[in-house]
Structure 1
Amino acid sequence: MRTPNFKKKTLVLAVAAGSLLAADLAISEAVLEEVIVTATRRSASVQDVPYNISAVSGDFLDKANVNGLGDLAKLVPGLTFNDRGSRSQMFSSGIIMRGMNTDRLARINAPLATVSPVSTYIGETPVFVNLDLMDLDRVEVLRGPQGTLYGSGSLGGTIRYIPNEPSLDGFAGEIQGGASEFEDASDPNYRFKGMVNIPITDSVALRLNGKYEDEAGFIDMPNLYSIQNGVVENANPDDFLGGEGVKRSKDDVNNNDVRTFRAALKYEPSDTVKSVLSYYYQSNESDGANIESYTFYGEGSGKSADYLASDYDGDMNIYAAEIEVDMGFATLVSSTSYADVSSDASGDVTGLYENFTWHSSYYGDYPRRLFSSKSSYDDETFTQEIRLVSNGEGAIDWVVGAFYSHNELDTAYEDKNLGSRVWHEACVEDNGATFDGDCGAPHLYPEYETANGVTVKEDLMYLSNAQSEFDDLALFGELTYHVTEQWQVTGGFRAFTQDYENNTQAGVMLDVSVFPWQPADDPFAAIGAYSENSDDDDILYKANTSYDLTDDMMAYATYSEGFRRGGANAIAPGGAEDLRAYDPDKTTNYEIGVKGSISDRVTYTAAIYYIDWEDIQLNKNCWPNFGLCVINAGDAESQGVETEISAQLTDSFRLDFGYTYSDASITDSEDSTIPDDKDLPGVPEHSGNATLWYETITSSGWDVTFMLNSSYRSESDSQAVEAYDVEIDSYWLWDTSLAVGIDNWTGRLFVNNIGDEEGYMSAYSTQNVSGHWGERAYALRGKPREIGFDVTYRF
């Protein structure tokens, strides 16, 4: 039986807008902005690309006060982002497109073994980070598999962040500062950013930008243990065996500090040669996560029942070189990059361990139980792509290229029951003289080196260390034949070979009295070192055709394939040797759609799609060592409808609207915990957004921009395992802003989440069974109401 739904809440919004201006200086014959994209590896208007793509310009991002993926998802139809907060954004994307997801979205600490089913690019670099959206030319959201041009990971779609290049046209700059406050937060939020563009010579320009954001927390922790010398402080020092832990309270723990910097140097000696060197840095630091103990304290409490305040520290460094040479018949493009994304995180997993059936017999009556988890993640990737893109106005266009990537990923995860070894030994020595409780099983030891070379630290309960290397070599191409001026046909392929190696050390500190397979003469035998390799070779295909029904209306049809790389588990799941390696999962997409414009004042896109997802990858903790592993869990399908409309209603009013219907479910499960027809987690059946704009210039020269945005997502499941699934309720979010500007100055007032909607995104089950959190289960919640302002000066 499904865990009961969260209570549905009614959102009542009253927006009173008086007279915004005394006189309206109408902009004659206002038309919609045309956004030029390079999704097909050649420049084209977004309305001329013959498949479903959204593009958001940098100017639009600024006007809409978009700072991250969470803000972007409110504006782009079909883009679902389950925001886990700062602490996990570097290694768990939370992005879902066209229903492609199988993972538990409430996971906030441990890294996942699989890559995201939505590929993301920063410039030409394939890497995920919840990028702070600063100084971008545009964001392109490509729906559906993009395997031929964008390779591994593009099962459900691709997101491309395109930064602004340095400009040779002149010196320019921008400075912005602002402040805001969350509902019920004790401290304000601050945000400062700046950009400067410096032409050095006629052919060389430098662009620098940076940002600092101090975002206050809004989750309180009334139940924290006080930690001294690495263990819980004893409230009664005279009673070492029976004394309870000292507790304290801390408010607003999930604060978040973000630092971002980018430097780009452009060299353009002629109209035919251009190169851009860039460096991108972003760091995130947080003392907690946006988790709420919805059963322990109640829904909407804004409180966490954790005993330990968690922290997170993540860094991203990207070095990139992009070179373009116009050779006349074609343009040669070389893209080279090195990306290093790393993080360290800690957290409280006491609620998890307390619900294991063997917990009491194993740990006895230790009164100051605190299971802490620590994880680290270091992901380094070198990427080189060379492609040749045809020029000219002939009947045939083509793109050919070669791609190479080398990835090294190190992950480490460990759980400890702090202070339990010393307590157990003291309890045994006491022998009931002063303490009549259970001393537990003799299983924890001081630091110890196993025969496999694995270091077991004091109080360690569980560890998992993994080192992997991945190589990807591919050739790709697309060819378009313009049969007539109205009709084109495109075919594409990507042929790749991949090699993967995984070395893992993992295990649980187990006692033979509890786990009979544990050898009595070696308490650490369950910790082992394992290695496994895998390799894959395949060819992906794409077919697309479009026909211009009129000068302003296009119909198209697409067949495309996407894939996500396979890998090796090292540890055999459940002891099954044939599961040491797992296969790539693959999507096959069938899509038809129409797109067009009406009198340059309305643009529209509508698409119907069906995706067959084979050999879906599922992250699990595998028996008997509980190490993180991946299995191919069967097949799934997703089908839906996507619509997007922008309308310039009058010279001053504009309306953007989008709606997505998605039906995504397991069709043939190969995992006993997941039934057929189970809905894929994190996928709302209905989602939509609408944004109303009002822009004008007053008779006195003031620019006025008003925005009202509404976004909606319907109910969704939290995980694929039916027995522990939690249904997450639907919610509406409303944002608004009013900006006025004159000359070089702009000031803006804004309110995000006007109705202070809790907006749960995922949750753990409250069931009191092994491996689940019971009454200490938590839910991921969105940000509360935020009211603020910012001021911008451009020069």
Structure 2
Amino acid sequence: MNSPYNADLPYTFEQIAVFGEVNYDFSEKLHGTFGLRWYDFEEEREFNSGGFFSNGDNDYDKTTADGVNPRVMLSYDLTDATTVNSQISQGFRQGGANDPLNIGLCGADDVVNFGGNPEYDEETLTNYEVGIKSQLTSTFSFNAAVFYADIKDLQVTLDAGSCSSRVVFNVPEAHTAGVEVELNAQPMDGLDFSVAMSVIESEFDSTIPSASGGALGGLEDGNKLASVPEFQFAATATYNFNAEAIAYGAEGYISATFQYVGERITQPGDQVSGAGDFTSGLPFGGATGNEETNLDLELDAYQLINLSAGIISGSWETVFYINNIADENVDLSFDRERGGRARLGYRTNQPRTMGVTVRKSF
């Protein structure tokens, strides 16, 4: 009892998996790949807690998962330079046990909403994809893909309201769908240029009800999944040149990258009306505890630019770099404690960083 809270969580993992693939040419143009992955996972955990706010829990949990994940790929050569491909594949994420709530910190509604979920099931995902790869000229290539991912029992982590805990729930149905495009070009000798972009829709297709009515923590049919931007874009340009003026046989390069990431949310509940209105309820230092902090929890889009220049001579490489050259202050996620009754803050990125890296190959 000499600390607010402490916990000891020793884990034991045992994972076995076997994967195999068979490639078969149906004709000179049509090719197939057929794969299976068998897995058998086991996780054991103890949970021992102490401190003023703990329940004195001493729990033992064991989670197992086994099964087979298939993959089927077909590709067809339209020409010597262009291939159309399709794929159906399946994957999983193991389930587990949630930590016990700190009941002494919980409001009555939060105990009802978050206390009856001691375990969560494994998540499965089936991905359907169609794409094209084309080397249009000797200096220009184009790749694109359209995909749809059907997710069963999606594992979603929610802050357990006032309880100072986080709880994983399974949402029975969810999906992501999108388009990815990649272009690579060499417009002149020594200059390589690439662009990649994606447009993604990601939504819940089921609703988890709360004890007080409505959806729990934004887990509602039609709401967006957390941490998935609808639009992303990246571009890289690299110029390679002869650097023998610096060292015999040396090569040099200058590279610049630009990254754009669209708006996101940190947790599903951040898209619910009023989610950014926080009241602590804790009188302190002249504050009544009824003061309200109002925040927009949608994370702004951001852009980052990195520059580097390097010299390669024999087995040595020296790189000078500047990351985040514009010194952008990016909000990567929003952090809150006890449902906003305590800590509020944004996790941010590294500021402008300059340095030198020296590598040697053996």
Question: Is the TM value for this pair above 0.5?
Answer: yes
Query: Are residue 754 (structure 1) and residue 325 (structure 2) matched?
Result: yes
Structure-2 change in CA distance of 1:670 and 1:538 (3 Å):
farther
Please give the alpha-carbon distance, in whole angstroms, between the structure 1 residues aligned to 2:243 and 2:162: 71
Higher RCO (CA-CA < 8 Å; seq separation 6+): 1
Structure 2 unaligned spans of 5+ = 102-109, 210-215, 277-295
1:650 to 188, 200, 204: 188
Offset at 1:770? 4.7
Residues 1:682 and 1:627: Cα distance change in structure 2 (over 3 Å): closer
- 2:350 equivalent to 1:783: yes
Change (3 A) 1:636 1:506: farther
Q: CA separation in 2, counterparts of 1:655 and 1:641?
A: 21
1:14-35: CA deviation from partner (whole Å, max 9, x where unpaired): xxxxxxxxxxxxxxxxxxxxxx
Amino acid at match of 2:35: G
Q: Residue 340 of structure 2 aligns to which amino acid in structure 1?
A: H
- CA 1:704–1:483: 2 relative to 1, 3 Å: same
SS in 1 for 2:74: strand
Distance 1:587 1:771 in 2: 30
Question: Cα distance, 1:469 vs. partner?
Answer: 3.0
Shift of 1:661: 1.2
Asked if residue 580 in structure 1 is aligned to residue 148 in structure 2, the reply is no
Distance 1:498 1:787, change over 3 A: closer
496-505 or 658-667, which deviates more: 496-505
Alpha-carbon distance in structure 2 between the residues aligned to 1:684 and 1:549: 33
Equivalent position to 1:614, from 152, 163, 166: 152
Structure 2 Cα separation of the partners of residues 651 and 747 of structure 1: 23
Structure 2 partner of 1:486: 29
Bigger radius of gyration among the two? 1
Alignment of 1:123-138 (within 5 A): none
**1:790 & 1:530 partners in 2: Cα distance?**
48
Q: How many residues align?
A: 320
Evaluate the alpha carbon distance shift between residue 620 and residue 548 of structure 1 in structure 2; reply closer, same or farther with a 3 A threshold. same
Instruction: Tell me the equivalent position of 1:635.
Output: 173
Equivalence for 2:267: 719
User: Would the alpha carbon gap of residues 771 and 639 (structure 1) be closer, same or farther in structure 2, given more than 3 Å must change?
Assistant: same
Q: Could you tell me how far 1:636 is from its partner in structure 2?
A: 1.6
Q: 1:495–1:538: 8 Å Cα contact kept in structure 2?
A: yes
Decide whether the 8 Å contact of 1:534 with 1:581 is kept in 2: no
Q: Shift of the alpha carbon at 1:570?
A: 7.1
Deviation at 1:647, TM superposition (A): 1.2
List per-residue Cα deviations over 1:389-411 (Å, max 9, x = no partner).
xxxxxxxxxxxxxxxxxxxxxxx
8 Å contact from structure 1 (residues 507, 626) kept in 2: no
C-alpha spacing 1:615/1:653, structure 2 compared with 1 (3 Å)? same
Match of 1:539 in 2: 68
Q: Deviations over 1:476-528 (max 9, x none)?
A: 32222211122112222233333333332347736xxxxxxxxxxxxx8x322
Q: How many Å separate the matches in 2 of 1:741 and 1:627?
A: 51
Map of 1:771 onto structure 2: 339
Q: Is the 8 A contact 1:646 1:655 kept in 2?
A: yes
Paired residues for 1:378-389 under 5 Å: none
Corresponding position of 1:710: 258
Match of 1:662 in 2: 200
Structure 1 letter corresponding to 2:56: I
Q: Following superposition of structure 1 onto structure 2, how do residues 426-465 of structure 1 map, counting pairs within 5 Å?
A: 457-458=1-2, 460-465=3-8
Return the match for 1:566 from 82, 90, 95: 95
User: Does the 8 Å contact 1:532/1:569 carry over to 2?
Assistant: no
Task: Give the 3 Å change call, closer, same or farther, for CA 697–632 of structure 1 in structure 2.
Answer: same
RMSD between aligned alpha carbons? 3.2
Cα distance between partner residues in 2 of 1:592 and 1:708: 31
Aligned equivalents of 2:350 and 2:196: distance in 1?
23
| TM score, norm. by length of structure 2 | 0.76
1:739 lines up with 2:310 in the alignment: yes
SS in 2 for 1:716: coil
1:790: how far off? 4.8
**Secondary structure, counterpart of 2:340 in structure 1:** coil
Match of 2:239 among 690, 694, 701: 694
- Tell me if the contact between 1:506 and 1:626 (Cα under 8 Å) persists in the aligned partners: no
Superposition pairs of residues 8-87 of structure 1, within 5 angstroms: none
TM value normalised by structure 1: 0.37
Question: Any conservation in 1 of the 2:198–2:231 contact (CA below 8 Å)?
Answer: yes
Distance 1:487 1:699, change over 3 A: same
Amino acid in the other structure paired with 2:345: Y
Flag the 1:597–1:461 CA change in 2: closer, same or farther, 3 A.
Answer: same
Residue 632 of structure 1: how far off its partner (Å): 1.5
The 1:551/1:467 distance shift into structure 2, 3 A limit, reads: same
CA distance in 2, matches of 1:585, 1:713: 27
Aligned to 2:282: none
Find the counterpart in structure 1 of residue 223 from structure 2.
678
In structure 1, stretches of 5+ residues that fail to align are: 1-456, 511-523
Aligned 1:366-377 pairs, distance under 5 A: none
AA matched with 2:92: F
Identity of aligned residues (%): 26
Q: Distance in 2 between matches of 1:627 and 1:598?
A: 54
Q: Which amino acid aligns with 1:481?
A: Y
* Equivalent position to 1:728, from 285, 299, 310: 299
Mapped partners of 2:46, 2:21: distance in 1: 37
Q: Secondary structure at the match of 2:19?
A: strand
- Kept after mapping to 1: 8 A contact 2:159/2:339: no
Change (3 A) 1:467 1:619: farther
Per the TM alignment, residue 599 of structure 1 is displaced from its structure 2 partner at its CA by: 3.7
Judging by fraction of residues, say which structure has more strand.
2
